[in-house]
Amino acid sequence: MKHEKVLVLDFGGQYNQLIARRVRELGVYCDLLPYDMTLEKIKEYAPVGIIFTGGPNSVYEEGAPDVDAGIFALNIPILGICYGCQLIAHKLGGSVSHADTREYGKSEIEYAEGSTLFEGVAKRNVCWMSHTDYVSRVPEGFAITATTKTCPAAGFEDAKRKIYGIQFHTEVHHTIEGEKILRNFLYGVCGAKGDWTMSNFVEEQVASLKKKLEGKKVLCAMSGGVDSAVAATLIHRAAGENLTCVFVDHGLLRKGEAEEVVDVFRDKLGMNLVKADARERFLTKLKGVCEPEKKRKIIGEEFIKVFEAEAKKIGAVDFLVQGTIYPDVIESGKGASAVIKSHHNVGGLPSVVDFKEIIEPLRDLFKDEVRKVGTELGLPDSVVQRQPFPGPGLAIRIMGEVNEEKLQTLRDADFIMREEIAKAGLNREIWQYFAVITSTSTVGVMGDARTYEPVIALRAVTSVDAMTADWARIPYDVLEKISNRIINEVPHANRIVYDITSKPPATIEWE
DSSP calls for 349-384: GGGGS--SEEE-TTTT--HHHHHHHHHHTT--HHHH
CA gap 269, 383 in Å, rounded? 13
Query: C-beta of 388: minimal distance to ligand XMP in Å?
Result: 4
Sign of CA dihedral 33, 27, 385, 208: negative
Catalytic residue among 169, 236, 250, 344: 169
Query: C-beta of 507: minimal distance to ligand XMP in Å?
Result: 3
Catalytic residue among 85, 90, 151, 171: 171
Cα 446 from chain centroid?
43
Judged by DSSP in three states, 81 sits in strand
CA gap 406, 441 in Å, rounded? 13
Which residues in 196-255 contact ligand XMP (CB under 6 A)? none
Which residues in 7-36 contact ligand XMP (CB under 6 A)? none
290 catalytic, yes or no?
no
Beta bridge partners of 441: 454
DSSP E strands in 186-271: the ranges are: 218-222, 243-249
Query: C-beta of 263: minimal distance to ligand XMP in Å?
Result: 23
Query: C-beta of 383: minimal distance to ligand XMP in Å?
Result: 16
Q: Which is nearer to ligand XMP, 146 or 469 (CB)?
A: 469
171 catalytic, yes or no?
yes
Q: Is 294 an interacting residue with respect to ligand XMP (CB under 6 A)?
A: no
Query: C-beta of 382: minimal distance to ligand XMP in Å?
Result: 18
By rule CB under 6 A, what string of x and - marks binding of each residue 437-466 to ligand XMP?
A: -----------------------------x
Between the alpha carbon of residue 239 and those of residues 212, 236, 316, the distances in Å are 9, 5, 16
Query: Rounded to 10 degrees, what is the CA torsion of 346, 352, 358, 362?
Result: -20
Considering only CA atoms, give the Rg of the chain: 26
Among the candidate windows 1-9, 40-48, 126-134, 503-511, which touches ligand XMP by CB under 6 A?
Answer: 503-511
Which residues in 342-401 contact ligand XMP (CB under 6 A)? 343-344, 388, 390-392
Query: C-beta of 218: minimal distance to ligand XMP in Å?
Result: 23
Among the candidate windows 56-64, 67-75, 312-320, 500-508, which touches ligand XMP by CB under 6 A?
Answer: 500-508
Q: Which is nearer to ligand XMP, 186 or 508 (CB)?
A: 508
CA gap 472, 107 in Å, rounded? 26
Catalytic residue among 82, 85, 151, 220: 82
Q: Which is nearer to ligand XMP, 185 or 471 (CB)?
A: 471
82 catalytic, yes or no?
yes
CA nearest to 94, candidates 158, 30, 178? 158
CA gap 174, 126 in Å, rounded? 8
Sites of contact with ligand XMP (CB under 6 A): 343-344, 388, 390-392, 432, 466, 503, 507-509
Active site residues per annotation:
82, 169, 171
